[in-house]
Amino acid sequence: MPKRIEINNGEVRLGYSYDELSEEAQAKAEYDAIDFICNVEIQDDSHPLWYLAQEMEKMGTPWFLGMEIMDREKEYVLEHMNQYLYDEEGAILPIMYHTKGSEIIKTTFGRKKRECTIIDLK
């Protein structure tokens, strides 16, 4: 079931898990996740997929990195994607959890970091 996101400016949004998205929206979410992994995360040699970037570089085909990640490490990508909520078109919603230790003390939405409440719909 989608989640209802109530933002303190009166706006209400719906957030969907990856599994709740349409095929088209899932494809967009996958593309965005792979793009982020390839261009941000994997740049660090301590990243668990660094070896794939090195393999593609040695083969002279770095542009195949995204496809290789999806073919060989799809579980990693899905784990990454299941950490987020998406709009119905597959874009990650800008939700930030502010923590103190392991406790979430505040949840905000968007660049303006407006406080919000996330409610499970049943």
**pLDDT at residue 57, rounded to an integer:** 87
First-to-last C-alpha distance (Å) of the chain? 7
**pLDDT at residue 30, rounded to an integer:** 93
**pLDDT at residue 3, rounded to an integer:** 96
Residues in CB range of 1: below 8 A, 6 or more apart: 20, 120, 121, 122
Its pTM stands at 0.81
The tens digit of pLDDT for each residue in 37-77 reads 888 888 878 888 888 888 888 999 888 888 989 898 889 89
The tens digit of pLDDT for each residue in 95-111 reads 999 999 999 999 999 99
